Amino acid sequence: MRKIGIGIIGGGYMGKAHAVAYQAVGAVFETQLRPVCEMICTTTEDGAREKAALFGFNRSTSDWRVLVDDPAVDAVIIASPQSFHREIALAAFARGKPVFCEKPLGRGVDDGRAMVAAAESSGLPNMTGFNYIRTPASELARQIIAAGEIGQITSFRGEHTEDFYADPQTPAGWRTQGGRASGTMGDLAPHMVNGALALAGPIERLVSDIQTVHKQRPDGTGVADVSNDDHGHFLCRFESGAMGALYFSRVATGKKMGYAYQIYGTQGAICFDQEDQNALWLYDSTTRSDRQGFRKILTGPEHPNYLAFCQGPGHGTGYQDQIIIEAKDFLTAIETGRAIWPTFRDGLEVSRVIDAAWKSNDERRWVDLREI
Amino acid sequence: MRKIGIGIIGGGYMGKAHAVAYQAVGAVFETQLRPVCEMICTTTEDGAREKAALFGFNRSTSDWRVLVDDPAVDAVIIASPQSFHREIALAAFARGKPVFCEKPLGRGVDDGRAMVAAAESSGLPNMTGFNYIRTPASELARQIIAAGEIGQITSFRGEHTEDFYADPQTPAGWRTQGGRASGTMGDLAPHMVNGALALAGPIERLVSDIQTVHKQRPDGTGVADVSNDDHGHFLCRFESGAMGALYFSRVATGKKMGYAYQIYGTQGAICFDQEDQNALWLYDSTTRSDRQGFRKILTGPEHPNYLAFCQGPGHGTGYQDQIIIEAKDFLTAIETGRAIWPTFRDGLEVSRVIDAAWKSNDERRWVDLREI
Amino acid sequence: MRKIGIGIIGGGYMGKAHAVAYQAVGAVFETQLRPVCEMICTTTEDGAREKAALFGFNRSTSDWRVLVDDPAVDAVIIASPQSFHREIALAAFARGKPVFCEKPLGRGVDDGRAMVAAAESSGLPNMTGFNYIRTPASELARQIIAAGEIGQITSFRGEHTEDFYADPQTPAGWRTQGGRASGTMGDLAPHMVNGALALAGPIERLVSDIQTVHKQRPDGTGVADVSNDDHGHFLCRFESGAMGALYFSRVATGKKMGYAYQIYGTQGAICFDQEDQNALWLYDSTTRSDRQGFRKILTGPEHPNYLAFCQGPGHGTGYQDQIIIEAKDFLTAIETGRAIWPTFRDGLEVSRVIDAAWKSNDERRWVDLREI
Amino acid sequence: MRKIGIGIIGGGYMGKAHAVAYQAVGAVFETQLRPVCEMICTTTEDGAREKAALFGFNRSTSDWRVLVDDPAVDAVIIASPQSFHREIALAAFARGKPVFCEKPLGRGVDDGRAMVAAAESSGLPNMTGFNYIRTPASELARQIIAAGEIGQITSFRGEHTEDFYADPQTPAGWRTQGGRASGTMGDLAPHMVNGALALAGPIERLVSDIQTVHKQRPDGTGVADVSNDDHGHFLCRFESGAMGALYFSRVATGKKMGYAYQIYGTQGAICFDQEDQNALWLYDSTTRSDRQGFRKILTGPEHPNYLAFCQGPGHGTGYQDQIIIEAKDFLTAIETGRAIWPTFRDGLEVSRVIDAAWKSNDERRWVDLREI
């Protein structure tokens, strides 16, 4: 075993999640590399110092360049706003440091392309943070599909639905003011687009319909215009020929973590809903017909990444554990020098689909991914 | 109470279902009109005689004109192939007889328009058979929406998914050989398009993607070309401004009766799946936030049409009961002389949407319903 | 085909259900015997006449002896209070008429023994009405167990829970005033005791705990004492050695039709809940371990009695259909002269278990069934 | 913030879980006390050294006395076999150190009484490890009940069912050879007995039935006798008058984490199943009757202990998070000097119920808890 210094840029929601993950991952996965939470960077010196204490870092800074340059920081986790992703990542690669970057990769396809180029020319480990797909259940889904257990996929339906803006009276805020980057297409869609690509392969073409339902929201004593989208649908064709439909929403009243998919194949089907993330539903149409049904597989020690958390099946993993799995994989990538999915390139492919969806919506037509 | 003679054209699946329904409906709903199963018409005289005995009719014929003309036949139920719907319906109206016609209404919009014109000029009761929407749960959904309990609808997602052709080795048959009328758009889509219109209102425009997954199927010792579609997606906008997505499939492996919808509104949401047809899921976002959740309402005597079947909630109704409810409403329409939903006009609106979807698919573009 | 005259004694809830069933069963199951609803008997002449009209009977009476004696009544359905079961059944057998009697069989074990003796010495078809077990799903459960698919049963848990008296303010009524016969042990327990016997075999011994939760209820302007039990638990051992636990309640807040069981065997398990009566959950522990899970089998044409109602799986049967299945089996018993489960003897076995439970509760000890 | 040295005795399943928890808890809950994993004790020096490295401890020992005496160890976590609980706990209290002890508390009631006496006379924080009840959902259930939201509890049904010995061919091992301590009553029952006491209050009397289903198991080339129980049922009455039924099993085929309860009250009901641990089902019978149903509350930031793990509702916590919550509460107890549920006394109450159940089973009679 040896120690590795971790630097995290971002002290919000995801910064904390990664801080916890890097403190837990060693004992959970009994990793060879043992992370040390070396430095955290947030926007002010005082704020950074406070976060360092709360989250358990040795040191802090308000300047991400200090963090990236610090000799004790061996690997960089980017959990800051998208506008900084590109510059930080390029600086870190320039200093020979592996980079884990939260989705979506930068502000769009341009940033993504630059980040992929830098990552690939550096030869350094790089990873994009799509945490929801990292549940044991979704990893199992990928294994089942890869093994051909449901035959050829003919249809993929996916969604990422939440309801945090379902109430028209929920006040305006940075999310509603931040333009496309913080709308539903920027914030939620990347997760399930990545899911679609991971589970059903590359998308060939799509048509979309994207809408801002509530165009104004209360803002203190007045109202503020909403600058981005509330929900959107895509229809698509995968390169395999399979049909797809995707739905993303922050106004799906009642949905809290509707990262869900239904995949139909020629020999079976798979269904999953993150609101019950410890179950994968599998239908096998090759067995005796009068005993067929969707079976609820509770994840357990036989399934990917589960055993590290618990020896008992059905005892369950949660949101924080997804981040721990990401940390484990990033450490393994660093230890072995091998790229581990999802890389920056995988992140870029997601951005291309989102771009295509905007183009389709804006031009009211089908868009081929080769156009992007 | 008084007797009313029923004539049913069609001795298949639906003919039987209506025969049972008209024998049960009097006792179930304690109706004023008491149906007598007077005559059944199927394609051959021997066949019709056999069906009359099996299904409990007084007489039989192989000529639908004999049935329509028979003085003891007071009302006509059309459960024959779509190519006959128009001619039969027009003949029945001409003789002053109310008509119940199975969906879809004729071979398309032309037939539908002719049938609506005849029905409306006759002033006679007319009804289209969309049975799945007739469950107590779906009727309750309509009541809840109409009462404004979920606020303004912002999103409607619906599907009608089954898997009877999911296996590529399932042999060709009349369904796969019958052209668009017996494909998924002709056979399954009308149910949920009707559901969408009933629950979310008229559709303004749509874009669709329709596919034949398995273009050939085994046929005796060789293979036969498949003449129609296996599945299709629509995106749409309702006149209300709400977004919609619809999915129809006969290749959705594992789905048996996936007539399902999720409806999101500004104050709540409704979910339903016909595979558990005695439950309606309701979310009310106006209540105390830390106690909110989708609640599973088991239908019971307080809900539409349930009490006639059972005094105990949760005891459940089934497929056959939907047909009995249709029979009750048709008898009520006859008794009162008032049109009862869904009329022929409602059936025509469904056909218009299906037509628009084909146009969209064929021309790869958004289609406005006013084009149809 | 030939006609058979049906006489029904009882014009309430169950009388109506049987009336509907005998009008529908011929067309549903295409039976050889075609029932004619010949006569109904209720407590007053006027009432009986009204029920005959509403439910579709040719004639009526207020004297059950008239019905039993009537030459056009070929078979007798007893849906009257339990205190009349014995006398009616014995009279019917004496006249050579088959008898279907609603559960529970008479007022207890004494009535049951007399009714079994009369039935068996007459050699006539006799059947007890335990309708809930007649769903396709529960019949499938019986088949799966009989085929050894879940191995040896080691544990059976069953319940029949409803909540119609959960509210302490629900007024007193005939159910709460009627003594043990109309309490939970008399009214609900027989269904699941029969289920336990049918699914797990004879019970050897048991211990019970039975309680009246709300000992008084509002009654007009005052309060009335409640004369019977609200809920009760049994623990038991089956003759097979399996353990059992049963729960019966009319105060299980939120439960509407909680006729449910979980059966664990050495090679698999079965779960069922009548609130979703079209699904049977099966676990098969002999298959690949990392793909195991409870599978939700939606009943369909391949399963017992389903096809008569519908050709599509998952389309669902309901409460009324259970009564139609009972009618079909009773007609088949008459046609073939063969006893069909559940006979009067099966009804008696249920009464013996209920008696044992009362004895156990009253004496606060384990009771061996051989004591009864 | 200040540091606190943690010593853990036990390097197995639970030792690891606590090691992870104490490394994560500071960042998760932003605690005032910041744990340092100071020392781990397992049975051999080499083994302890290896576990220290894997789990992230500074030092190791094979002698628990060394750990208890170590000046850098400020608090002791006992995750060793039950036979050591008493001696370790007493030694730790004697040195003025707070103790967290895994359930069940020692080998039975005698150990439990001694441990409670030592804890209470020491005045030191003490806690028993019942982790499953620590989910946000079960804590929410406790809050709802305490607030009277479901009225008076009339019935409590609980179970802890798994299936790790369901297969008769699963070989004998330490669990099947370890006598009552490692059978189902010793291993699984304490969790749900604690749940019953926490949710429905003290138990007054009970009757039980406990069974060893598979009396021998394969053991290398031969067979070995099984020394303890496979499953057991209890019926009980709570001091409140409510009825209870509990089931515990390691042979419940298909159940993986069946820690589940259904609680019926006069105004509502609660259901929970740990296999879907992020949902609590609540029924409120005081609302409009035709909109009632069990609602699935997905836990979120508004519910107990959730926000520390995630800002999004429905994103879910898992097994490891339960241990982190325990760690937080133990740290809080130390920091504040206030006892936090569940204390050693709560652990003792659980042992008394298990003892009563064995007495009831052995003597085949109802047992009053005052006898224990």
Query: pLDDT digit string (tens) for D279-317?
Result: 999 999 999 999 999 999 999 999 999 999 999 999 999
Q: How far is residue B134's CA from residue B112's CA, in Å, rounded to a whole number?
A: 22
Cis? peptide before D104, omega within 30° of 0: yes
DSSP code of residue A23: H
Identify the CA nearest to C234 among candidates C110, C130, C369, C370: C369
Per the CB < 8 A criterion, the answer to whether C48 and C61 are in contact is yes
Are B160 and B107 within one domain? no
Q: Is residue C287 part of a domain?
A: yes
Task: Give dist(CA D34, CA A57) in Å, integer.
Answer: 12
DSSP code for B181:
G
CB contact (8 A) between residue C275 and residue B278: yes
Q: Say whether B268 and A253 touch across the interface (CB within 8 A).
A: yes
B325 Cα to chain D: minimum distance (Å):
20
Q: Give B140 to chain D, closest Cα distance, Å.
A: 10
Chain D residues inside the 8 Å CB shell of A50: none
Q: Is B290 on the interface with D (CB under 8 A)?
A: yes
- Mean predicted confidence (pLDDT) in C175-198: 95
Residue B372: inside a domain: no
| B337 in any annotated domain | no
Q: Among D129, D150, D176, identify where a domain stops.
A: D129
Tell whether B189 is covered by a domain: yes
Tell me which residue in C55, C256, C318 faces B318 most closely, judged by beta carbons. Answer: C318
Nearest to C6 by CA among C41, C54, C31: C41
Smallest CA-to-CA distance from B34 within A97, C57, C315 is with C57
Q: List the subunits that have 3+ CB pairs under 8 angstroms with D.
A: A, B, C
- What is the rounded distance in angstroms from the CA atom of residue C134 to the CA atom of residue C323? 8
Mapping DSSP to helix (H, G, I), strand (E, B) and coil, where does residue A105 land?
Answer: coil
Residues A148 and A261 in one domain: yes
Q: Tally the domains of chain C.
A: 2
Q: What's residue C221's pLDDT?
A: 86
Residue D123 backbone dihedrals phi, psi, to 5 degrees: 70, 10
pLDDT of residue B178: 87
Give the nearest partner residue to B245 out of A150, A233, A251, using CB atoms. Answer: A233
Which pLDDT band holds residue D260 (cuts at 50, 70, 90)?
very high
pLDDT computed for residue D176 by the predictor: 93
Closest CB to D294 among B289, B295, B302: B295
Sequence-ordered list of residues with C-beta below 8 angstroms from that of A339, at least 6 positions apart, any chain: A125, A126, A333
- D246 inside 8 A of chain C by CB: no
In the block, residue with structure tokens 């009994």: A30
Span C21-59, pLDDT tens digits:
999 999 999 999 999 999 999 999 999 999 999 999 999
Residue D334, in any domain of the structure: no
Q: Which of chain A's residues have a Cβ under 8 Å away from the Cβ of B292?
A: 254
pTM attached to this predicted model: 0.98
Q: Are strands D2-9 and D75-78 parallel, antiparallel or unpaired?
A: parallel
> D298 touching A, CB under 8 A?
yes
Tell me the mean pLDDT in the region B280-293: 97
Cβ contact D293–B290 (<8 Å): no
Q: Coil, strand or helix: which one is C340?
A: coil
- How close, in Å, is residue B291 to chain D by CA atoms? 6
Q: Which helix (H) or strand (E) holds C129?
A: strand C126-129
| Same domain flag for A220 and A302 | yes
User: Is A103 an interface residue toward C (CB < 8 Å)?
Assistant: no
Tokens at C232, concatenated: 């009760």
User: Is A293 in Cβ contact with C296 (below 8 Å)?
Assistant: yes
Closest residue, chain D, to C208 (C-alpha): D235
- How many helices (H) and strands (E) in chain A? 11, 17
Residue A370 DSSP code: G
Cα within 13 Å of Cα(B107), Cβ side:
8
Which 3-state string (H, E, C) describes chain D?
Answer: CEEEEEEEECCCHHHHHHHHHHHHHHHHHCCCEEEEEEEEECCCHHHHHHHHHHHCCCEEECCHHHHHHCCCCCEEEECCCHHHHHHHHHHHHHCCCCEEEECCCCCCHHHHHHHHHHHHHHCCCEEEECCHHHCHHHHHHHHHHHCCCCCCEEEEEEEEECCCCCCCCCCCCHHHHCHHHHCHHHHCHHHHHHHHHHHHCCEEEEEEEEECCCCEEEECCEEEECCCCCEEEEEEEECCCCEEEEEEECCCCCCCCEEEEEEEECCEEEEEEHHHCCEEEEEECCCCHHHCCEEEEECCCCCCCCCCCCCCCCCCCCHHHHHHHHHHHHHHHHHHCCCCCCCHHHHHHHHHHHHHHHHHHHHCCCEEHHHC
Question: Is the separation of the CB atoms in A119 and A344 below 8 Å?
Answer: yes
Q: Does C149 touch chain D (CB under 8 A)?
A: no
The domain boundary, picked from A70, A96, A129, lies at: A129
Q: At what angle do helices A45-55 and A13-29 cross, to 10 degrees?
A: 30
Q: Indicate yes or no: CB of D54 within 8 angstroms of CB of A28.
A: no
- Rounded-to-integer distance, Cα B259 and Cα B195, Å: 9
pLDDT at B88: 98
CB contact under 8 A, B309 and C320: yes
Residue A20 forms contact with C (CB below 8 Å): no
Q: Report whether C369 contacts C234 (CB < 8 A).
A: no
User: Is any Cβ of chain D less than 8 angstroms from the Cβ of C168?
Assistant: yes
Contact D302 B289 (CB under 8 A): yes
Pairing assessment for the beta strands B258-265 and B268-273 based on DSSP bridges: antiparallel
Q: Which pLDDT does position D221 carry in this prediction?
A: 86
Instruction: Report the interhelical angle of D319-336 vs D13-29 (nearest 10°).
Output: 70
| Chain B interface disruption, residue of C36, C275, C303, most B CBs within 10 A | C275
Angle CA(C257)–CA(C234)–CA(D281) in degrees, nearest 5?
40
Residues of chain C with C-beta less than 8 angstroms from the C-beta of D231: 154-155, 243
| Residues A230 and A354 placed together within one structural domain of the fold | yes
Residue position matching structure tokens 């409803």 = C162
Looking at the complex, does the CB of residue A45 fall below 8 Å from at least one CB of chain D? no
Residue B371, token pair as written in the block: 């084009």
- Taking the CA of residue D102 and the nearest CA in chain C, the distance in Å comes to 29
pLDDT confidence of D338, banded at 50, 70, 90?
Answer: confident
Domain shared by A110 and A144, yes or no: no
Residue D209 lies in a domain: yes
Are D171 and D101 contained in the same domain? no
Reported as a single tens digit per residue, the pLDDT across A124-150 is 999 999 999 999 999 999 999 999 999
Min distance D260 CA to chain C CA atoms (Å): 14
Decide if pLDDT at D339 tops 90. Answer: no
For residues C318 and C275, the answer to whether their CB atoms sit within 8 Å is: no
Tokens, residue A282:
């599998």
H or E stretch including B78?
strand B75-78
User: Per DSSP, what are the bridge partners of residue C297?
Assistant: C280
CB of C293 within 8 Å of any CB in chain A? yes
If asked whether residues A182 and A289 sit together in one domain, one would say: yes
- From the CA atom positions of chain B, what is the Rg in Å? 21
For A54, left (φ over 0), alpha (ψ -120 to 50), or beta? alpha
Q: List pLDDT tens digits, range A81-128.
A: 999 999 999 999 999 999 999 999 999 999 999 999 999 999 999 999
Q: Which residue of C has its CA nearest to B25?
A: C20
On average, the pLDDT of chain D sits at 97
As a whole number of Å, the end-to-end CA separation of chain B is: 44
Q: For residue A178, is pLDDT > 90? A: no
Across the interface, whether the CB atoms of A251 and B245 are under 8 A apart is answered no
Please measure the distance between the N-terminal and C-terminal CA atoms of chain A and give it in whole angstroms.
44
Contact with chain C for residue B225, Cβ under 8 A: no
Among candidates D16, D277, D309 on the partner chain, residue whose Cβ is nearest the Cβ of A320? D309
C50-109, pLDDT tens digit by residue? 999 999 999 999 999 999 999 999 999 999 999 999 999 999 999 999 999 999 999 999
- Give pLDDT, residue C160: 98
* Sign of the alpha-carbon torsion through D218, D221, D222, D226: negative
Claim to verify: residue C107 and residue C126 sit in the same structural domain: yes
Q: Do residues D90 and D145 both lie within one domain?
A: no
Max Cα-Cα span within chain D: 66
Per residue in B36-78, pLDDT (tens digit) is 999 999 999 999 999 999 999 999 999 999 999 999 999 999 9
Does residue B328 lie in a domain region? no
**Cα–Cα distance between D203 and D88 in angstroms, integer?**
29
Q: Are residues C26 and C39 in the same domain?
A: yes
Kindly identify which residue of chain B lies nearest to residue A208, measuring between CA atoms.
B235
Q: What was the pLDDT predicted at D220?
A: 84
Residue C96 phi/psi, 5-degree rounding, is 80, 20
Judged by CB atoms closer than 8 Å, whether chains meet at B154 and A231 is answered as: yes
**D59 has a pLDDT exceeding 90:** yes
Query: CB contact, 8 Å: B162 with chain C?
Result: yes
Q: Helix (H, G, I), strand (E, B), or coil: what is residue C301? A: coil
What would the DSSP string read from start to end of B256-267? SSEEEEEEEESS
Q: Does D169 touch chain C (CB under 8 A)?
A: no
Q: Is C28 on the interface with B (CB under 8 A)?
A: yes
User: Domain limits at B120?
Assistant: 2-131
Q: What is the band of D152 on the pLDDT scale with cuts at 50, 70, 90?
A: very high
Burial (CB count within 10 angstroms: exposed 0-12, middle 13-18, buried 19+), residue D331:
buried
Contacts (Cβ under 8 Å, ≥6 apart) of C81 = none
The answer to whether D256 contacts A313, with C-beta atoms less than 8 Å apart, is yes
For the domain that residue A198 is a member of, what is the CATH number? 3.30.360.10
Could you tell me the end-to-end alpha-carbon distance of chain D, in angstroms, rounded to an integer?
Answer: 44
Using a CB-CB cut-off of 8 Å, the residues of chain C touching D254 are 264, 268-269, 283, 285, 292-294
As a whole number of angstroms, the distance between CA C85 and CA C108 comes to 11
Q: Which of A16, A26, A53 has the CB atom closest to D1's CB atom?
A: A53
Percent of residues, chain C, with pLDDT higher than 70: 100
pLDDT of residue D192: 98
- Assess C278–B contact: CB distance below 8 Å, yes or no: yes
Sign of CA dihedral A72, A75, A80, A82: positive
Determine the pLDDT at residue A4.
Answer: 98
Q: Does one domain contain both A116 and A217?
A: no
Instruction: Establish if D300 touches chain A: CB-CB under 8 angstroms.
Output: yes
Calculate the alpha carbon distances from C255 to B292, C160, C273, D263, D268 in Å: 20, 9, 11, 11, 10
Query: What SS3 state is found at B158?
Result: strand
Same domain? C155 vs C67: no
In this predicted structure, the answer to whether residue B220 has a pLDDT above a threshold of 90 is no
- Find, among B288, B297, B284, the residue nearest to B151 by Cα: B284
pLDDT band for position D127 (50/70/90)?
A: very high
Does the residue A330 lie in any domain? no
Find the mean pLDDT for residues A215-222: 93
Distance from CA of D293 to the nearest CA of C (A): 7
Hey, which residues 58-97 in chain A have their CB within 8 Å of chain C? none
- Tell me whether D313 touches chain A (CB under 8 Å): yes
Domain boundary among B85, B110, B131: B131
Residue C70 · residue C38 · CB < 8 Å: yes
Whichever domain contains D112, its CATH number is 3.40.50.720
CB-CB: which of B294, B298, B300 is closest to D296? B294
Residue D247: predicted pLDDT: 98
Tokens of C345: 């003897």
- A296 interface with C at CB cutoff 8 Å: yes
H helix or E strand, kind and range, residue B39: strand B33-41
Residue whose tokens read 């009825």: D243
Q: Taking 90 as the threshold, does the pLDDT of residue B267 lie above it?
A: yes
pLDDT of residue C338: 86
